[in-house]
Structure 1
Amino acid sequence: MAYNWDKSLETGNIIIDEQHKSIIKAINNLLDACNTGKGRLEVENTLIFLKDYVVKHFNDEENLQIKSNYPDYKSHKEKHEAFKNTVNDIYEEYKEKGANIGLVAKVNMSIGGWLINHIKSEDKKVADHIKSMK
């Protein structure tokens, strides 16, 4: 199942929204590759991208939260740290066992599903807080 960008995912912050789009595009590229029988080749590229990119993205988000005195910063950061661990765990599993359909399913559900839910719930709260500060 590909993930589609729509208004429900917009935070109103151009930088954060563009970063979210990049992450979703990487996951969709993997899913597209799987549909054409090239998923095993794309898994490593996707995982390396995600492993590096979520660190930058979460730092950017957390800096916005700090600047705006977001009251739930600590909890939000903990969610980010748990997600980074998930991405790292899946990457380590890939290195140990290689690419397989189960691993792709984990990327889809554990990474793609988490990200969509996180944007719609947690990141929206941050965006609303920042807007209320203006």
Structure 2
Amino acid sequence: MRFTWSNEFATGIQTIDLQHQALFSTINALHDCYENGGTHEQLQPILLRLTHYILFHFRTEEGLMSQATLPPDWYAEHLAAHHEFTVKINDYADRLPQLTPAEVEDLLNYLVEWLKDHILVTDKSLASYLARSAPGGAFDDRR
């Protein structure tokens, strides 16, 4: 399943939106490699790049969360979601040489569905909290 960026996914936080677009692009590169008969050896560097970028992206989000007034439970749940996602993706990456085609398809579907849901629900909520926490109600991440 290819991942197409649309304004539906825009959070209004330029840094986060650009990083989300980079994640979409990398997931699509992984999808395209797989669909074009890519071997595990060809998929591995793309998945490795994705796992590294995910960690970078989550650190960015978590840094922004530290600037917002967040409900304590919400913050903990967001961190837990990041951790759970990271563990699952790392597990897929570690097992990549042994994954069946069906498992690679499960990985691709999981990436798309999890990220879609996370952006549309959790990250949009983060953007709202950041806006409410910013002076004048407008968060500007271009500083």
Check whether TM > 0.5: yes
CA distance in 2 between partners of 1:50 and 1:33 (Å): 13
Aligned to 1:105, the other structure's residue is in SS state helix
User: Matches of residues 7-26 of structure 1 in structure 2 within 5 Å?
Assistant: 7-26=7-26
1:13 offset after TM fit, Å?
0.7
User: Contact 1:70–1:129 at 8 Å: present in 2 too?
Assistant: yes
CA, structure 1 residues 42+106, in 2 after alignment: closer, same or farther (shift >3 Å)? farther
User: Matches of residues 1-134 of structure 1 in structure 2 within 5 Å?
Assistant: 1-38=1-38, 40-71=40-71, 72-95=74-97, 97=98, 100-133=100-133, 134=137
CA distance in 2 between partners of 1:11 and 1:42 (Å): 33
Q: Give 1:85's aligned amino acid.
A: V
Alpha-carbon RMSD across the aligned residues, in angstroms, is 1.6
CA distance in 2 between partners of 1:100 and 1:23 (Å): 24
How many matched pairs?
Answer: 132
Q: Which structure has the larger Rg?
A: 2
Q: Give 2:55's aligned amino acid.
A: V
Q: Give 1:81's aligned amino acid.
A: H
CA distance in 2 between partners of 1:51 and 1:104 (Å): 15
Per-residue displacement from partner, 1:26-69 (whole Å, max 9, x unpaired)? 11112122232236454212210122111111011011011112
Structure 1, unaligned runs of 5 or more? none
CA, structure 1 residues 56+26, in 2 after alignment: closer, same or farther (shift >3 Å)? same
Aligned to 1:67, the other structure's residue is in SS state coil
TM-score (norm: length of structure 2): 0.84
Paired-residue identity, %? 27
Structure 2, unaligned runs of 5 or more? 138-143
